[in-house]
Amino acid sequence: MKAPSHASRRNFISLGGAAAGLAMVQDALSANRNPAETVADRTSSIRITAYKAYWINPVVYLRIDTNHGVSGWGEIKGVDPRVALTLLASLYDLIAGENPTRIEHLWQKVYRAHRDIRGGPFMVHVLAGIDIALWDLAGKLWGVPVYRLLGGPVRERIRVYHTDKALKVPPHGIYEHSGTPADIDRMVKAIASARERVGPDGTVMFDAHCAVPPATLIQLAGAIKPYDVLFIEEPAVPGNIEVFKRLKAAINIPLATGERDRTIWEMLPYLHERCIDVLQPDCCHTGGISQMRKIAALAEAFHVPLAPHCTASNLGISASLHAIAATPLFLIHEFYPTNFGFNPKGIAQVEWTVDKEGYVGLPPGPGLGVEMNEKVIAEEAKKPQAYKWPGATLKDGSIADY
């Protein structure tokens, strides 16, 4: 082959340089059009500008505002509101000026902000309120219900309890470190009565509420076998997975827990050790809608359905319903129609209702589909608020763990 002349070499290099330059220009243009290259959302001008918090026993409502005039509402519950208000003021520093639609990014930013104080009930409950507000805001921005942003609904309605066909029986007290025949008889009679009320085609659950000692619970489980209980809730105090494993080995009734556990990291041991049949995360306890979705996916991999715990106001209930609307593996959702969400009348207005079969229709949008009456909220928040640590003792005066 004939070697190229010096002139042809120069022409080749010039052409190559031009091609390389053109490629660089094309790459730059492509980068500007590539969402992966604009993760900071530089093309969007929406930013978080302020927040407002209202303490109304037993919750803190928060509103996150933006420079586009769109706001989202969240709810903080299950912790001392005085601490929640102070912690919210601190955590707001991490989201101020941010794009509110980067929900997962902001969740991670708050949760991982400090290596020594990440996690724990106070941070995660406050973070749940922030997360719920951001999802509400995002749904309003796009004019759709939140579940549309989660992949769309996988069901047309959501089964709830308590209804005429689904009842959960409480433990009727905090017991000593062992139960008596009278204790067991009292619980058995309550479960039998619930079964009679709902009929053979209804659902009965028993909530041990971490108040029934493990040995007593094993005895009770044998006595209630004829009443076909859907699950025994909170069979033990969280913290030692070996207790749950022992109970699972001794009890032939499905076990459920999760309301006092937070995030995917605290749920994983139950699934890994196969000691729980039903998982019960609370949207307001476990880090909001974002974590509910991750917990649902994790549980689905282990073929464990969700039966969410929920003692929130209508706002928190709606957030949980939106998450469940898009969750495939679901059993039943907690709901208390008699007090309609633990909130003063008129604060959080919703359109969903419970039908005669015990199902709630999908919450409408946009956002969470909750109309917050800020005038009523502001008036309620002006009233004296107080927090009292619940506390519980046994007959001998020692502290009860429940």
The residues annotated as belonging to the active site are: 309
**Cis peptide bond upstream of 35, omega within 30:** no
Question: What are residue 52's DSSP bridge partners?
Answer: 63
Q: What is the DSSP string of 147-201?
A: HHHTT--S-SEEEEESBTTEEEE--SS---SS--HHHHHHHHHHHHHHHHHH-TT
339 C-beta neighbours (distance < 10 Å), count: 9
Q: What is the DSSP string of 325-376?
A: HT-SSB--EE--TTTTTTS-TTSEE----B-TTSEEEPPPSSBT--EE-HHH
Cα–Cα distance between 261 and 258 in angstroms, integer?
5
Q: In 3-state terms, what secondary structure has residue 18?
A: helix
Q: Which two tokens stand for residue 373?
A: 């009456």
Per the document, the length of the chain is 402
CA atoms within 13 A on the CB side of 139: 29
349 C-beta neighbours (distance < 10 Å), count: 13
Which residue carries 């005038």 as its tokens?
Answer: 375
Question: What are residue 166's DSSP bridge partners?
Answer: 163, 203
Query: Which of 40, 59, 62 lies closest to 51 in space, CA to CA?
Result: 62
Cα–Cα distance between 146 and 152 in angstroms, integer?
9
